[in-house]
Structure 1
Amino acid sequence: PDFSSDDFVEACLQLTNDTVDDEQASRILGTLWDIQNAKDTQRWNARKEEEAQTARYLAEQVAEALAQQQRHLHDEEESSLAEECKKNKAKYAPVPDVEVPSGLVNIPALYATCKLKKGEYCELYFFTNVGLAEAESSNASINDEALTLLKSDNGQHIWIPASHSRDKSAIIKDEDLTWEQFGEAGLCLISAMREHDWQRDRIDMHIKFWTGLEEHPWRRSSRNHLNRALLLYQSQQRQKWHRAIGTAEGFSLAKLNEGVL
């Protein structure tokens, strides 16, 4: 500003005296103004920087909140899709680049599949070639949620899922299978266990169990009753294992009990 102008006459008069003339007073006013202006500019710049920092911080907070919300939505979608895939595996299973098979499709009956999903005992018959062929030719349209009326052991009638029911009279018991059928079933059942996410230790135990039976001296014996004893042992002990597992009476099938045999 021009401190020698009329606008600053009164200010200059307050500074003038015997030793300070008008020109000196104007310079003093200029100096004072420069000092004050520098302070005001510094405060102004500091306030604008603070406002800019606050604006950046708020923008970062908004961006982070939005990103977190998007991640949360993405995680929810992924979780929902994973749950959907788990419930409806057939719907989301990838299509393999393989031609239509000309032979048997090794897919067990729905009854056996339900047992495997729960980790429950299931007869080997369903995993033999005969059982698999029967499953392929049976009515595959049974709804998992359909109910059927069944008479229980105590005489009461109860409703159970149709996929859980089965005419036991049509099933060959484990002990009555041929050794060829036993071999067929073992391979197929191990594969099905893996497909239905059985624990590795359980799968390994069954492999050792069935391999031990196949390699037992009685398996090559000319005495038929010794051959049959191995199959009976397999049937009884595998059922017992399923009843006992998860209780204080649990045990492993991996080592054969020669005393029981």
Structure 2
Amino acid sequence: MDRPFRVYGHLVAAQVRSQLQYRTSFTLDLIGQTLFTVLDYVTVIVLFSVTPTLAGFTLPQVLLITSIAAVGFGLADLAVGNVERLKAYIRTGTLDAMLIRPRRVLPQLLAIDFQPRRLGRLAFALGGLVVASVACELDWTVWTVVKLVAAPIVAGVYFSALFVAAASVAFWWIDSGEFANSLTYGGREFTTYPINLYGGLFRHVFAFALGFGFVSYYPALSITGIPDPLGMPTWIAALSPIVAALAAALAAVCWHLGIRHYNGTGS
């Protein structure tokens, strides 16, 4: 393994060992994190207790949309969720110490407070994805499996980019926490349901302008073979990786601009 990656690996391993020393606390945190995802599924099931379909979709189909979003968000939260602490590191001057080390700042920030308890959220979401895909009675081909595996990974890339881009606002606006949360956690809620459930202007802004519609909705339509109620062509699902790549590129630009803009707490 290359030396920089080995260093970051040691930092993450140290964090994991430290947190596992307090097993009761770790177990309670793991359960608490998992409950967040459980509640997402419970909310969907409760909605279907009073209606047979939601925006024209059945329960298994909506659960597939929910699961793709949940796995993607779980991957992003585990990998880069710590970046939302950037505002605290700027305020306390911790970021200054990272800047003078001969290592990239973002990996340091992600490794310094790695949270393995977030694995519970991801594990439950993966289980939900398996159950939902079976309940949808998919046409199981190699291409279906490829899309089913790729969809949450692409969603994870998109959410990771969203975490980084939203957190980078703290370089200019240190109290941007609520703004960042409205994008990351608000975006997660939006992607939990079919986008045709939302009103026209709201849907156009979030689903298409911000790209949330390509996180779980269009991948789920492609996997199940369901025509889009909004009348969009079937090939639009192929844009999901492109949208995720563009989001990652934009997040990289925001981060590098922020680092260059940052002058330290002593300026």
Instruction: Give the TM-score of the pair, scaled to structure 2.
Output: 0.28
Q: Which has the higher helix share?
A: 2
Bigger Rg over Cα = 1
